[in-house]
Amino acid sequence: MKIWQYIPARLAHALAPWGLGFYAAARDYPTFNWDSFQWKNLFFANRLGIAGGVDKNATMTASWQRLGVGFLEIGTVTPMAQSPNPGKIFGRDWENRNLWNKMGFPNDGSEDVYYNLCQAKTELRIPVFVNIGKNRNSKNSDAENEYLFLIEKFQAIADAFVINVSSPNTAGLRELQTQAWLESLLRRATTVAKGKPVLVKLSPDMDEDELQGSLKGSVAGGCSGFILTNTTLSRPPNCSFAKDGGLSGKDLAEKSKNLLKLTLSALKDKRKDLLIISVGGILCPEDVAERLALGADLVQTYSGLVFYGPEIFKDTAQLMNQPDVSRNVSA
């Protein structure tokens, strides 16, 4: 039982930054070392990080680092600040360990987030991915320019970029996952990023052809890896969440694993140093081990922070440092 279980979902979400601050202040773990690896010029002491949307404005980075995470992803940040979608935007199902959200990229905007990250960076010793998205009121025909603007803005300070074209909560965003659009964006994005890796975060709701198209276009455009997956529009039987909005947690796990397997198999011969990050339904240390065994290079969690709690980083380190836990189990 977690204390935050007894607080209404929206309030618990609003209080989370304070709760985390107090929680982390009483701890100062080192960045846990397990399964460390070097990718390009980035060193990952361990392979478990926080997912996009957890620290949207880069205001909690020091706390996450104190809890021992291997890497951070901040954002989604958009060019201009924007508020959440109207109405109910967050729900939890404790029994089934699922979350639901319809947030729609609420964030303080690129100017403020850039400032926050510059302040935070001096203390950070772990890689920071910057997740970027378009503003909800701008047209898809302007999206490419918005992504390029954001990459230019954060180029000097981000360790890597995540192109978010997969949130279900910004109308029309997922239409940008086509082969042609991604190839065109990535060609320009990689130039503006000046050597900083650019990854693409994909939706779990694509069919196999759509996935192949997204992968092909992104790789042809020069992307450095993929994050699989964002939240899903599908619902398990008897689900009480609204039909719109994204579901994450336990009932996303199978879809996320399936996309991971399809992606690994599609990229088998062209994998080179593409980084594959798995996220979706990773709720405990054993899930981390399973996803790595399936072939992911890194893993992330959002729902795990709610249903397991922030000790997931320490407990995962403990599990992964046991001699009989190997990530080299092939899927």
Active centre residues (catalytic): 167
Instruction: Name the residue nearer to ligand FMN (CB basis): 63 or 101.
Output: 101
Among 49, 213, 304, 310, binds ligand FMN (CB under 6 A): 304
Instruction: Name the residue nearer to ligand FMN (CB basis): 101 or 218.
Output: 101
Instruction: Name the residue nearer to ligand FMN (CB basis): 11 or 25.
Output: 11
Q: Binding mask 42-61 vs ligand FMN (x if CB under 6 A, - otherwise)?
A: ---------xxx--x-----
Q: Binding mask 250-289 vs ligand FMN (x if CB under 6 A, - otherwise)?
A: --x--------------------------xxxx-------
Q: Which of positions 167-206 make contact with ligand FMN (CB under 6 A)?
A: 167, 201
Asked whether position 299 contacts ligand FMN by CB under 6 A, the answer is no
Shortest spacing between CB 302 and ligand FMN, in angstroms? 3
Nearest Cα neighbor of 52 from 191, 165, 188 is 165
Among 85, 116, 230, 278, binds ligand FMN (CB under 6 A): 230
Residues 227, 234: Cα–Cα separation, whole Å: 19
Among 181, 301, 307, 308, binds ligand FMN (CB under 6 A): 301
Residues 192, 172: Cα–Cα separation, whole Å: 25
Asked whether position 132 contacts ligand FMN by CB under 6 A, the answer is no
Residues 107, 113: Cα–Cα separation, whole Å: 8
Nearest Cα neighbor of 305 from 11, 23, 8 is 23
Task: Copy the structure tokens of residue 187.
Answer: 């060609």
Closest-approach residue to ligand FMN (CB): 53
Q: What are the residues facing 271 on neighbouring strands? A: none
Asked whether position 248 contacts ligand FMN by CB under 6 A, the answer is yes
Residues 270, 67: Cα–Cα separation, whole Å: 36
State how far the alpha carbon of 249 is from the alpha carbons of 105, 200, 236, 274, 283, in Å.
19, 21, 11, 26, 7
As to burial, measured by CB atoms within 10 angstroms (0-12 exposed, 13-18 middle, 19+ buried), residue 97 is: buried
Shortest spacing between CB 324 and ligand FMN, in angstroms? 26
Size of the site for ligand FMN (CB under 6 A): 27
Among 58, 60, 74, 99, binds ligand FMN (CB under 6 A): 99
Asked whether position 110 contacts ligand FMN by CB under 6 A, the answer is no
Instruction: Name the residue nearer to ligand FMN (CB basis): 52 or 213.
Output: 52
Residues 53, 151: Cα–Cα separation, whole Å: 18
Asked whether position 302 contacts ligand FMN by CB under 6 A, the answer is yes
Cis-peptide, bond into residue 178, ω within 30° of zero: no
Q: Binding mask 141-170 vs ligand FMN (x if CB under 6 A, - otherwise)?
A: -----------------------x--x---
Contact 67, 313 (CB under 8 A): yes
Instruction: Name the residue nearer to ligand FMN (CB basis): 105 or 241.
Output: 105
H or E, element range at 163:
strand 160-164
Helices (H), the chain: 9-25, 61-66, 110-121, 143-154, 179-192, 208-221, 253-266, 285-294, 303-307, 312-320
Shortest spacing between CB 304 and ligand FMN, in angstroms? 6
Tell me which residues touch ligand FMN (CB under 6 A). 51-53, 56, 76, 90, 99, 101, 103, 105, 131, 164, 167, 201, 230-231, 248-249, 252, 279-282, 301-304
